[in-house]
Amino acid sequence: MQKILVTGCCGFIGSNFVRLFMKKNPSIKVRNLDKLTYAGRLENLPDLEKNPDYEFVKGDICDSAIVEKAMDGCDAVINFAAETHVDRSIQDADAFAKTNFFGVKVLCEQAKKQGIEKFVQISTDEVYGQIKSGSFKETDRLNPRNPYSAAKAGGELLAMSYFTTYGLPVVVTRSSNNYGPYQFPEKVMPLFITNLMLGKKVPLYGEGKQIRDWLFVEDNCEAIELCLKKGKAGEIYNIGGEHELQNIDLTKKILKEMNCGEEMIQKVPDRLGHDFRYSLDCDKIKKGLGWKAKTSFETGLKKTADWYKQNEKWWKPLVNQ
């Protein structure tokens, strides 16, 4: 493998991935195709601008001409490019359907034509829907319950159809809630941290009883690299932090890390169709690829909070977007 195309590199997980990947794999060149939407920012990768093994191409994965050119000469593709914020998808699903489904179709079609050796489609635990007890395995039925997760489910099903129909070597990853540096401050972790830094209260949906599993972004990036190099074509891999928290407990941990009291909690009306609990069974990637999350939640939260404290210039222009 000499060169990979990574779409959505200027977003949260993509930027963390390419930074770590290029440190560990100095012999592999990376081409970044990114549309630079509100959450995709060149400011996420300033350290790679002068790296001769890194190339940035501005463009939309829904544009077949741009994708054809960007993919030319690449051996593998990792697709991070997506619209990801559930609340925005509830307000307007159009962009989610286009990017998360049709964009995957464009990428797969070009990957088929160009003989790509590995195509990694980044998905989410939300495609399973909610689960009250137990954990989802990769073979469980999909039951997405909002426009974002439905579009992501459609995208990964389409990618898998290219494996079954055309033999495109597709691998799908489904990860739980990522957190860490460079996450746009609309998601709960950076939203709460930056609100508290500004002296503002944190908006908690309802009673905060919903449960999420938390995965430090660098652990997810290492799992994705393993799936790129060792993942079996046609397979799906769950990637979870195995640290489940009710949203109210997450909020209290953030408040404690930021030296704030519970009077800074502001309860707001619950999200429409709010899923109660997500949970992943990660035995497959543990046993098959030898991966497990390394970062404890306490360590990851401190790293994340410290990063936002030290990088106000990065997030302050974004808080009202």
- The Cα 182–Cα 308 span in angstroms is 8
Q: Based on the domain organization, do 66 and 198 belong to the same domain? A: no
Q: Which residue has the higher pLDDT, 236 or 91?
A: 236
Confidence of residue 86 (pLDDT cuts 50, 70, 90): confident
CATH number at residue 146: 3.40.50.720
Query: Bridge partners of 175?
Result: 124, 239
Q: How confident is the model at residue 273 (pLDDT cuts 50, 70, 90)?
A: confident
Long-range contacts of 189-192, Cβ-Cβ distance < 8 Å, separation of 24 or more: 189/250, 189/254, 189/301, 189/304, 190/304, 190/308, 190/315, 192/251, 192/254
Residue 38, pLDDT score: 86
Do 45 and 127 fall within a single domain?
A: yes
In a domain, 282, yes or no: no
Question: In which domain, by residue range, is 23 found?
Answer: 3-178+216-239
The reply to whether 117 falls in a domain is yes
Tell me the percentage of the chain whose pLDDT exceeds 70. Answer: 99
Is 11 in the same domain as 137? yes
Say which CATH number the domain at 258 has. 3.90.25.10
Residues 139 and 257 in one domain: no
Q: Is 78 domain-assigned?
A: yes
Same domain, 252 and 120: no
What value does the mean pLDDT of the chain take? 96
Per-residue pLDDT of 128-179, as tens digits, reads: 999 999 999 999 999 999 999 999 999 999 999 999 999 999 999 999 999 9
pLDDT at position 91 over 90: no
pLDDT tens digits for range 199-254: 999 999 999 999 999 999 999 999 999 999 999 999 999 999 999 999 999 999 99
Known catalytic residues are 125-126, 148
Q: Same domain, yes or no, for 44 and 117?
A: yes
| Dist CA 266 CA 257 (whole Å) | 18
Report which of 116, 117, 138 is spatially closest to residue 127, judged by C-alpha positions. Answer: 138
Burial class (CB in 10 A: 0-12, 13-18, 19+), 274: middle
pLDDT of 87 reads 81
Task: Check whether residue 67 and residue 204 sit in a common domain.
Answer: no
Query: Are residue 103 and residue 195 in the same domain, yes or no?
Result: no
pLDDT of amino acid 319? 85
The structure's pTM equals 0.96
Distance CA 146, CA 161 (A): 22
Same domain, 26 and 141: yes
Q: Is residue 262 part of a domain?
A: yes
User: What confidence score (pLDDT) does residue 295 get?
Assistant: 98
pLDDT grade for 11, boundaries at 50, 70 and 90: very high
60 in the same domain as 43 = yes
Give the pLDDT of residue 271. 87
Which pLDDT belongs to residue 69? 98
pLDDT digits (tens, 9 = 90+) for 116-125: 999 999 999 9
Is the pLDDT score of 321 beyond 60? no
Tracing tokens 């994965």 back to the chain, one arrives at: 61
Bridge-based pairing state of the strands 244-246 and 211-216: antiparallel
Sheet architecture: strand order including 177-179: 177-179, 211-216, 244-246
User: Do 88 and 165 have their domain in common?
Assistant: yes
- Are residues 139 and 195 located together in one domain of the fold? no
Report the domain count for the chain.
2
Q: Shortest CA distance to 90 belongs to which of 122, 62, 126, 61?
A: 126
What are the pLDDT digits (tens) for 33-43?
999 998 899 99
Q: How confident is the model at residue 90 (pLDDT cuts 50, 70, 90)?
A: confident
CA dist., res. 202 & res. 188, Å (int): 9
